């Protein structure tokens, strides 16, 4: 079972109903702007990971994991509600979907994200996962403020054609087709969500369109990371945290 402690933060898998309730409450704070909780039908089939501050036990980060044996199970994923993922049906290897990733908005410590990725690395190594995927979210549903970020995704980080998701959701922003601008790198990185930045640093790729999710008030892109493609230096850093 996943357990990791680094410095003042510790990551573990939820073990009780109270653990899951705490995860849903933090998600509600981040995604539902103060609603009592954030839950859906996928919570029952996922493993919920908690990152806690060991000084006071406060939950500072959470995400959920849905392991799949391979691409033939991709339709079971949360992402498959929004993206046509049949191209990934032939992916031959274990996969895991990471979803609802959030950090307490009052916390600014970069070590929280490091420990979360260390926990994910530990899970990947223990289970032999070959593809990590999920939806990476931008806050809000207006595309204008993220034009440079999307232009950078188009220029450098589109997924390989053999795996690229097709459009399924009714409301999307086809940034790879519509944008003709050269990205301002500083503005692009300022607008890029921290989770997505980390994916990209490891060699992750994205869909050619963003889904406008008015339920959660976000724009999100399908994000994939083939574990075998992570640069060796980056793997060493992640495993140093995981170890």
CA distances from 48 to 27, 80, 90, 91 (A): 11, 19, 27, 25
pLDDT value at residue 165: 98
- Residue-wise pLDDT for 201-233, tens only, equals 999 999 999 999 998 999 999 999 999 999 999
Q: Return the closest-CA partner of residue 95 out of 44, 45, 133.
A: 133
pTM, full prediction? 0.94
Q: Which domains does the chain have, with CATH numbers?
A: 3-242 (3.40.630.30)
Across 14-94, the runs of DSSP E, i.e. the strands, are 47-53, 59-68, 83-84
**Average pLDDT of the segment spanning 76-83:** 98
Q: Tell me the pLDDT tens digit for each residue of 94-124.
A: 999 999 999 999 998 999 999 999 999 999 9
**243 pLDDT above the threshold of 80:** no
Spatial distance between the Cα atoms of 154 and 147, rounded to a whole number of angstroms = 10
Mean pLDDT of the chain: 94
Q: Is 208 helix (H, G, I), strand (E, B) or coil?
A: coil
What would the mean pLDDT of 13-31 be, rounded to a whole number?
95
Distance between CA atoms of residues 176 and 151, nearest Å: 8
85: helix, strand or coil: coil
């Amino acid at each position: 079972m996943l357990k990791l402690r680094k410095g003042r933060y510790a990551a573990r898998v939820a073990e009780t109903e109270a653990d899951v309730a705490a995860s849903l409450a933090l998600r509600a704070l981040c995604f539902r702007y103060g609603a009592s909780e954030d839950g859906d039908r996928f919570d029952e089939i996922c493993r919920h990971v908690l990152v806690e501050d060991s000084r006071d036990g406060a939950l500072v980060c959470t995400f959920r994991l849905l392991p799949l044996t391979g691409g033939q199970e991709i339709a079971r994923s949360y992402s498959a509600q929004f993206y046509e993922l049949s191209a990934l049906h032939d992916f031959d290897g274990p996969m895991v979907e990471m979803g609802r990733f959030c950090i307490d908005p009052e916390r600014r410590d970069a070590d929280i994200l490091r420990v979360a990725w260390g926990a994910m690395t530990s899970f990947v190594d223990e289970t032999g996962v070959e593809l990590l995927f999920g939806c990476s979210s931008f806050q809000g549903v207006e595309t204008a403020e993220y034009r440079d970020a999307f232009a950078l995704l188009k220029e450098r980080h589109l997924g390989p054609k053999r795996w690229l998701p097709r459009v399924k959701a009714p409301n999307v922003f086809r940034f790879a087709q519509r944008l003709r601008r050269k990205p301002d790198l500083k503005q692009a990185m300022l607008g890029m969500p921290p989770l997505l930045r980390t994916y990209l640093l490891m060699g992750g790729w994205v869909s050619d369109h963003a889904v406008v999710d008015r339920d959660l008030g976000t724009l999100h892109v399908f994000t994939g990371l083939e574990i075998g493609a992570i640069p060796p230096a980056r793997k060493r850093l992640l495993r140093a945290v995981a170890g």
